[in-house]
């Protein structure tokens, strides 16, 4: 039976589908999560303050010692320049970790259940939420790059390179955003989601090439770093920052200069994004109003 307002939304096996397009559903969720972020700026500030503290303290306290380790091969790179790409990835990691917290808030206040009973496309719900968070992460990374330049860092590839670093950071954030949201659906608890994300966040940073070159790290950390996603994100961003091939975990010479680091880094991150993004969408699609209460 058609509704008095016109033709009813299509149905499949009795399940009502949204009369909006997929991109219409994405846009609705994109706006909702941006409004939610603006109304609760605390999460935005927290995910940015910690990386800023790392940037300032590491460059001011460990700068001289770390510069010697960074330039062991005879280069002359300031530690500020070396560290900024790592802090950009840390920002992406910290901001992505808070993504699941927002979803748990929705679960606890009943909003998620309301979304589940709407005819909106479940994939569009996740994509819209993620798009809003990607915008926030991109802005935060841009702030870190600007602060790094003020502290003395140099982006060898200029403004275009700075945009490239932002894009690498965003690409990196997607897999951890997916993981954080998956934890939220599984645990349905803020503390568990925060603990789970933070338990991964700091070990991933410190057993990678984020703060020191691979060749000066202990052997066991070098082994772990080769399988650590942070290494690939940091090396890709650092290659753009320095306009040089800095990747040591994978030796590729098919391309020119920095691309020998950027391309393998991007390939690894895209693969992670697709795998973990698919898992997150699957978890959201199989969620029902009964199992989120």
Q: Residue 55 in contact with residue 147, Cβ under 8 Å?
A: yes
In 10 A of CB 226, how many CB atoms? Answer: 15
Q: Give the E-state strand segments of 27-145 in sequence order.
A: none
Residue 6 in this model has a pLDDT that exceeds 70:
no
Name 16's bridge partners: 11
Q: What is the largest distance, in Å, between two alpha-carbon atoms of the chain?
A: 78
pLDDT (average), residues 33-53: 76
In order, the DSSP letters of 51-65 are HHHHHHHHHHHSHHH
Chain-centre distance of CA 77, in angstroms? 27
pLDDT tens sequence across 226-275:
999 999 999 999 999 999 988 888 888 788 889 999 999 999 999 999 99
pLDDT tens sequence across 120-155:
777 888 888 888 889 989 999 999 999 999 988 899
User: pTM of the entire structure?
Assistant: 0.83
Q: Between the ranges 67-81, 202-216, 268-282, where is the mean pLDDT highest?
A: 268-282
Residue from 34, 47, 90 nearest 209 by CA: 90
Three-state SS letters, 166-213 = HHHHHHHHHHHHHHHHHHHHHHCCHHHHHHHHHHHHHHHHHCCCCCCC
């Amino acid at each position: 039976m058609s509704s008095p307002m016109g033709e009813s939304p299509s149905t499949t096996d009795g399940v009502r589908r949204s009369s909006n397009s997929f991109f219409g559903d994405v846009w609705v969720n994109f706006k909702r999560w941006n409004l939610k972020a603006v109304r609760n700026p605390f999460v935005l500030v927290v995910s940015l303050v910690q990386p800023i503290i790392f940037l300032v303290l590491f460059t001011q306290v460990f700068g001289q010692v770390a510069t010697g380790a960074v330039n062991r091969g005879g280069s002359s790179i300031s530690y500020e320049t070396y560290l900024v790409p790592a802090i950009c990835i840390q920002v992406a990691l910290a901001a992505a970790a808070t993504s699941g917290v927002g979803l748990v808030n929705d679960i606890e206040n009943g909003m998620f259940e309301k979304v589940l009973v709407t005819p909106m496309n479940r994939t569009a719900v996740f994509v819209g939420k993620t798009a809003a968070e990607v915008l926030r992460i991109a802005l935060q990374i841009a702030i870190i790059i600007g602060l790094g330049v003020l502290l003395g860092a140099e982006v060898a590839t200029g403004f275009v390179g700075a945009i490239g670093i932002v894009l690498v950071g965003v690409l990196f954030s997607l897999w951890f955003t997916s993981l954080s949201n998956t934890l939220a659906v599984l645990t349905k608890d803020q503390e568990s989601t925060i603990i789970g994300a933070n338990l991964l966040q700091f070990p991933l940073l410190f057993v990678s090439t984020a703060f020191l070159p691979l060749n000066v790290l202990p052997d066991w950390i070098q082994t772990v770093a080769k399988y650590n996603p942070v290494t690939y994100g940091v090396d890709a961003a650092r290659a753009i920052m320095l306009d040089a091939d800095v990747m040591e975990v994978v030796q590729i010479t098919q391309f020119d200069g920095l691309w020998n680091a950027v391309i393998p880094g991007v390939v690894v991150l895209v693969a992670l994004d697709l795998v973990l993004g698919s898992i997150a969408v699957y978890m959201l699609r199989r969620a029902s109003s009964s199992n989120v209460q």
